[in-house]
Structure formats: structure tokens, C-alpha cells
Structure 1
Amino acid sequence: RLRGAVSPRAVRVRTGGAAAGKRWGLGTKKENDRKRIPCPLDPKHTVYEDQLQKHLKKCNSREKPKPVYFVQDINAGVKEVAEIPENQVTLSSLSKEELENLIIKLKKASNGLELDLKEQVLSHQALQEALNDPKNGDSAFKHLKQQASILGNMEKLHLLGPGRCFVEFGAGRGKLSHWVDIALQDTENIQFLLVERATTRFKVDGKHKKTDSIFERLQVDIQHLCLNKVPILEKKKLPVVGIGKHLCGAATDLALRCLVESYATCCNEEDEEPAPKRTKNNAEGASDSSNDDNNERNKEDFKPVAGIVIALCCHHKCDWTHYVGREFFRSVGLGPVEFHYFQRMSSWATCGMKGTITKASTNEESEDHTNNTEEHDQTYSKTETGSDALQGLLTVEERKQIGSLCKLVIDHGRIRYLQHRGYEAALQYYTDSSVSLENVLLTAVPETTT
């Protein structure tokens, strides 16, 4: 450049006046004098005071109209009067005797339970090409193995078929639904509802180019989701299959209530209609009787919830109010206080693995859990694991065993809940612990009547 030459940028700023100054972030004196105030809807961001009213109309934090399927706290469970005290003592503050008493109660509650879960590590043809793709990194490969096993278990339970609505709870980007759709190519009369309270970027379901999209996103907290008010379900009356990959803590309990209480109950009530009256001069009474029998059989065959397949996660984020297994806890002499400590102790199941697991790096699959981080990817505080206070009292291996037992007891309460509502429910290991430390799958299908 010649000496003394003026850069193009300088020319634009000098000649462009206020507009150019604003473009280059220089601002004008009048603009700099304007006052910014915190947004009353969300103080995390600010707005010019003289534009507040305009901003409030378009602020992303403004209260939006509720969808028709939003019913406040429909799946929340009943809040009891005797809740856990607000100033609950932390695990690390418990005395040796108090901790030992908790462990005694835990082991007593687990007596008679199936402690060694069945291994059901399966796969599915729909994911074979992706599993054999060398471009996938280690993290993507682990996610694919889990998704393949979930689909394999769904197939074993005869849940992959036509005439179903697959509801993915905690859907994130919708990868699990994507693979179910691939497995059901050319299958008619299927629908996908992807439930996610967060606005998730990089949505996989958006890539499905179909004339009549079978993918619909429901941006709502599971706590407030009334499935039988979702228009597509009202219209099609499809049996539902609830699915989820690492459905975090209390979200699992909310999803179970959403399926087997609010949806199944409402559907059964709607089906209870009076039989049509027969005319007196009907000469073909026998034929009508046969049709009535067929209608009755069809009613009996229709199950609002065809099945549930959920990979469990984050027991330390469970909540007594939402927990569906409270009846089981009471039956073994436990209550909200014990539940509080058991959910905290459940994190011990992975505390021995701290620092041994590194986060995956380059593959897009890592986006899957930006809003749903797996338990073993989190960093636990000393308060959570109680490592200092427990040093010399419990070994790392003992803590892992107790943590696993806490998870099992909490999950067994969920199994009991489903069994009492007419489902054949089970827990199984669906993947190896080297693939995911959260490797337990909950499955349930309606009991068959003989």
C-alpha cells in the first residue's frame, strides 16, 4: 500500500456518517446517551429503556399461548403434606451411625429383588451401515450401539410395526425417532411425537423430507403434557409406544404417568360408550350379535399404550413428589427422607469412574446431550459423593455397590407401579458399561389375557 493511502474501511466510516459508525460498532453520541435497563421478563439481558414496550412484545422470554395439550401439572403426582424437610442434612454431614442405618434399610428393602439383571444387548439391521461407517468417532459409535440395542429390544417386544404413534420423551435432536423411522421404512400409518421442553438446534427430524410429515415436535414439559389432547392422536386414535434414551431423573416418572395414567385412563373412559340399540323387526339378530362380539373383541384388543422402552438415567435427579414408586417404598417401611438419601447415594454407582471418562470431541453426535447430559459425564462435587467424609468408612467399590443398589430399589418401585397397572414390566442391561454407565433399560407391554 502507498504511504499515506487511506484504507477502504476508513473511507467507509468517514463518509458513511452515523449509519457506517453504527455498522462498525462506533455508535453516535445520541445513541450512547440512551439508557439500557434489565428486561423485566428476563434480567439476564438488557434493553434500551425507550424501546421497552416494543421489546416486551417480541421478547423470547414472554409468556406464549399454551398449546391445547398443556394441562398444568397433569403428570406431576400428588404433593404430600409431610414432605422432605427443607434443611435436609447432606450425605457428607451424616454421622457414621446414621449412614449405617440408611444402608441397613437399603439392603432390607432390596431383599427378594432380582439383583442380577438379565443382559439384553441386542442390535438392529437399520443401524448396521452406520455402525460400520469408519467416519464415526468413538462417541458416535457408542450412541449408535445404544440406539441399535433399544431398537433390538423394541423389535423383540413386537413394538416396531404399523398403526403406532411413537412418542419420544426428552427427544433432544430426535435421533432415536430417526432410527425407528429408518427401521419402519415403507410402513404405513405411523406417527412420531417428539417431546422436548427446550428449543433444540440441529434437529434430525427436520431432515426428513416427506409430503405429509409424520414428525411433530411438542415443545412442552412432560409434567404438563396431556397426550389425549394432542390433535393428531385425537384424530388417528393410534396406540402409543413411549420411548426415550437416557430420560433424566424425574422425567422418567413424569413420562410413565403421562402414558399409563393421563393417556391410558382418558382413552379407556372415551371408549366406554353405550351399545347401539337394536330394532325390533331385525330379522338378522344372530348376525348383529356376531358383529357386537367382534366390536367387543376389537375394543379389548385396542391398548392405548402398546409399550414402553426407556433407557434410564440420572437417579440423583429424581423427586419424591413425581416418583411413581412411592407405594413400593412405603410397603418396605421407607419414605421421603430415605428416598432423598438413596437418590443422592445413587451417584456413588459412578463416582469410582470419575476422571476416567473423557468427553467426545469432533462428531456431531455430541450435540445429542447438550440439553440432556448423561450422569457419568457430570463432575460430582465432594458434597454429592461424600468422598472426604466417607474416606476410611467405605471403599470406592463399596460405594459403587451401594449406589447401584439405590438405583435398583428406585427402579423397582417403577416396575411395581407398572405391574399394578396391568403391564408386564422388566429391567435389563441393554448395553455394556464400557459403552454407557447408564446401561439399564426399562420395558413394559400390556399383560396378555388368556
Structure 2
Amino acid sequence: MPFFTCQASLGSLSKEELKKLTDTLVQVTDGLDPPLPDKKLCHPALHEALNDPANGDSASKHLKQQGSILGHLDRLGLLGASRCFVEFGAGRGKLSHWVNIATEDAENVHFLLVERATTRFKVDGKQRKSTFERLHIDIQHLCLDRVPSLVQKQLPVIGIGKHLCGAGTDLALRCLVHSYNNPEGEPLSKRYKTDPDQSISLEHRTPCSVEGIVIALCCHHRCDWQHYVGRNFFEKLGLGQREFGLFQRMSSWATCGSRRSSQVENCSTKGNSEDVEEHDLDQKSNDCNTESLQGLQLSVEERENLGRLCKLLIDRGRVEYLERMGYKASLEYYTEPQISLENVILTAVPQLLKADS
């Protein structure tokens, strides 16, 4: 039986409780996975932009991350004709912009940009050859098999995202895997920007074929048990909502020791600017404060390692979920920590389409 309450914060735990919690974390993650492989890739589509002397430090970092994401898409054989790239937490749409450039010789490429918030300085309006559409909708209400263009064109889907924040990743994975129907969601006619008068009746809906998923992960401290896809994985380990909530808080330890006070990172919850990284540093609990550790006397390095284990545990639950759903999924380091402290990417393809590792 878990020894702490569901709403307990790290600061409320005694030294003994916190020690037991960290021991549990080390135990359940021991042998869980070998060290994540380094797969820091690039793509020719960004070579010119990367070598532009006018780039500032922030722009260069974003380009390197986008280049690696495209490299992973290419490695998995996902850059090609006759498909729809669905960018979750799209913000300005810069990731889709680069995918469009990388597929400029391919025919029948469609882009669906999903963003809850209204975004300024969008780049998708500048695209000419490919079709770009925007959906202003919360991911949890999105049903891909009710999007008119996907139903009509019958295009296979590639789910992408750059720093899709916290629960947004879980919502996107569930959306892609199940393409579920939420009867309480908003009518499509209220949220489909390109053609608000167009609707698809339920009897004409068709399941979406998902050929791949490539999502750069971030902000595990913003995950929540309600939407987390790895609950089955946690429960198999004898863990539940209470442990998840505490590990979720502890995940911030992986970055708060290294993050400079002036640094902010890119996060898709509120729509990313792509020019300034925007990870929201405000947290409900003061979990980066050493005073919250109740005399456990952990070094910065020890806390960072425990934070990384929390992130790994949460992400392994996502991998296990995708594997149960028939995908070959993996986690890799896709960029250097000097480029982004949130440097892990989740990739998945259906087992029948699995690519060489």
C-alpha cells in the first residue's frame, strides 16, 4: 500500500518517506533499459539554414533540433509522397515548414497543424505547393477520423511534435493510436478553420492509418495521471497515481540543477514562438529547492540523476503503451543537452513497417 497521500508534495514528505520513494524509483528502473542511444541526426533540407551566419544562438539551437527530428523521420522512411503530417502543439508551424521543404519533390503531401491557442507569425501561410490546414482545438477533443481532409483523401498519417508539453504527448499518442470519438467534444464545424461549413457524418468516418510517430518530449512535470497512457505499465510495477504524482514532480530535478536562471525553453502548451525557448519554469511545488528535501542531503548530480530516472520511467510507460498497440517504439537522445535539456525523442512505427535501428 503506498505510504503517502495522493496530493502529497515532495516538501511534505519526511526524510524517511522521501528516502523510500527514491529507493523505489531506483529499484523499478534498474535494468529497465540500457542507456538511451545517441541518435543526433540532421537533414540536408536544413544545411543552408544551419550555415547562415545571421543565425543567433537561439535560432541555431532550434534549427539543430528540427534538423535532427527530420533526420529521424527520414531514418524511419516517413518522408515521402501521399501522406499527412499532423503536427501537435504546432505553434507557428516551423517543424511542418521544414518537413515541407524536405518533401518538396513529393506529391500529395498534406499538413494538419493542431494548436489550442491562436498563434501569431505563422509560417504555414507562406507555403504554396503543399496543403496546410489548421485546427484550433485541444488535442483531447480531436478525432482524426472526423477531419474532412483525412476522410476524403484517405492519406496515412505521420504524427510529429517538437517539445510537446507534458500531458499533450499522452493526448497525442492516444489520438493517433485510437483516433477516438469523444461524444462530448465540440462539433467539428466549430473548430475546423479551413472550411467551417464542411462536416463528416459519423457513418462516413474512416479509421486513420498511422504510419509513424516522431515527437520530441518535454515537461514531464506537466504530465497527469488522468491522461497518462502508461498507467498499465505503472500498475504492473506496483505503482499507482500517488507514486506517479511524486515522480512527476521529481522529474523537474533532471533540469532544474543545470538550467541557468536566464534560460527558458521551448514548450508547445501555449504555442511556441520558435525564436525563444519557452519552457514554463513555474511549478506548483518548490521541488527544485533543496530545502524541500528534508535533510536527505542529495547532491545536484544525484538529484539530476533521480530526475532523469523519473523521466525515463514515465517515457517507458509510453513506449510500453505503443508496443501493446502494435508499434515498434523507442527512445533516443536526438540532440545535445547544450542545445536543449529536453533532448529525448520518442519514435514509433507499426510493427509491419518497422525500420532498421
TM-score relative to the length of structure 1:
0.68
Cα deviation digits, residues 74-112 of structure 1 (max 9, x gap): xxxxxxxxxx967x2221121011101111221222132
Say yes or no: does 1:214 pair with 2:117. Answer: no
> Closer, same or farther in 2 for the Cα pair 1:253/1:369, shift >3 Å?
farther
Cα deviation digits, residues 149-197 of structure 1 (max 9, x gap): 0000100000000011000000000000000000011311110000000
What is the CA distance between 1:116 and its match in structure 2? 0.8
Aligned with 1:133 (options 43, 52, 62): 52
**Do the aligned partners of 1:172 and 1:369 also contact (CA within 8 Å) in 2?**
no
Query: Aligned equivalents of 2:33 and 2:110: distance in 1?
Result: 36
Cα deviation digits, residues 217-273 of structure 1 (max 9, x gap): 000000100011000001001110000000000000000000001269xxxx999x9
Say yes or no: does 1:328 pair with 2:259. Answer: no
Q: What RMSD, in angstroms, separates the aligned Cα atoms of the two structures?
A: 2.6
Aligned with 2:287 (options 367, 384, 408): 384
Say yes or no: does 1:367 pair with 2:273. Answer: yes
What is the CA distance between 1:397 and its match in structure 2? 0.8
Partner amino acid, structure 1, of 2:302:
E
1:18-33 equivalences in 2 (<5 Å): none
What is the CA distance between 1:207 and its match in structure 2? 1.4
Aligned with 1:228 (options 145, 158, 161): 145
Cα deviation digits, residues 382-424 of structure 1 (max 9, x gap): 7222411325621111100000000000000000000001000
Partner amino acid, structure 1, of 2:165:
C
> Closer, same or farther in 2 for the Cα pair 1:445/1:270, shift >3 Å?
farther
Percent identity of equivalent pairs: 60
Q: For residue 433 of structure 1, what is the aligned residue in structure 2?
A: 337
Cα deviation digits, residues 115-135 of structure 1 (max 9, x gap): 410000000000000000010
> Closer, same or farther in 2 for the Cα pair 1:328/1:359, shift >3 Å?
closer
TM-score relative to the length of structure 2:
0.85
**Do the aligned partners of 2:161 and 2:215 also contact (CA within 8 Å) in 1?**
yes
Cα deviation digits, residues 18-73 of structure 1 (max 9, x gap): xxxxxxxxxxxxxxxxxxxxxxxxxxxxxxxxxxxxxxxxxxxxxxxxxxxxxxxx
Partner amino acid, structure 1, of 2:301:
E
Gaps of 5+ in 2: 182-201, 266-271
Partner amino acid, structure 1, of 2:292:
A
Aligned with 2:61 (options 106, 129, 142): 142
**Do the aligned partners of 2:11 and 2:292 also contact (CA within 8 Å) in 1?**
yes
Query: Aligned equivalents of 2:67 and 2:242: distance in 1?
Result: 38
Which one has the bigger helix percentage?
Answer: 1
**Do the aligned partners of 2:144 and 2:208 also contact (CA within 8 Å) in 1?**
no
1:30-429 equivalences in 2 (<5 Å): 88-210=7-129, 214-262=131-179, 304-355=209-260, 358=263, 367-368=273-274, 373-374=278-279, 378=281, 383-390=286-293, 393-429=297-333
Query: Aligned equivalents of 1:115 and 1:408: distance in 2?
Result: 11
**Do the aligned partners of 2:15 and 2:296 also contact (CA within 8 Å) in 1?**
no
Query: Aligned equivalents of 1:102 and 1:137: distance in 2?
Result: 42
Partner amino acid, structure 2, of 1:319:
D
- SS of equivalent residue, structure 2 residue 342: coil
- SS of equivalent residue, structure 1 residue 307: strand
> Closer, same or farther in 2 for the Cα pair 1:333/1:434, shift >3 Å?
same
**Do the aligned partners of 1:310 and 1:441 also contact (CA within 8 Å) in 2?**
yes
> Closer, same or farther in 2 for the Cα pair 1:270/1:413, shift >3 Å?
farther
Query: Aligned equivalents of 2:92 and 2:304: distance in 1?
Result: 32
Larger radius of gyration between Structure 1 and Structure 2: 1
Gaps of 5+ in 1: 1-83, 274-301, 361-365
Partner amino acid, structure 2, of 1:431:
T
- SS of equivalent residue, structure 1 residue 385: coil
Partner amino acid, structure 2, of 1:343:
Q
**How many residue pairs were aligned?**
324
**Do the aligned partners of 1:354 and 1:379 also contact (CA within 8 Å) in 2?**
no
Query: Aligned equivalents of 2:53 and 2:308: distance in 1?
Result: 34
> Closer, same or farther in 2 for the Cα pair 1:215/1:354, shift >3 Å?
same
Query: Aligned equivalents of 1:201 and 1:346: distance in 2?
Result: 31
**Do the aligned partners of 1:149 and 1:431 also contact (CA within 8 Å) in 2?**
yes
Partner amino acid, structure 1, of 2:135:
L
What is the CA distance between 1:381 and its match in structure 2? 7.5
Query: Aligned equivalents of 2:209 and 2:275: distance in 1?
Result: 30
**Do the aligned partners of 1:382 and 1:388 also contact (CA within 8 Å) in 2?**
no
> Closer, same or farther in 2 for the Cα pair 1:270/1:430, shift >3 Å?
farther
Partner amino acid, structure 2, of 1:385:
C
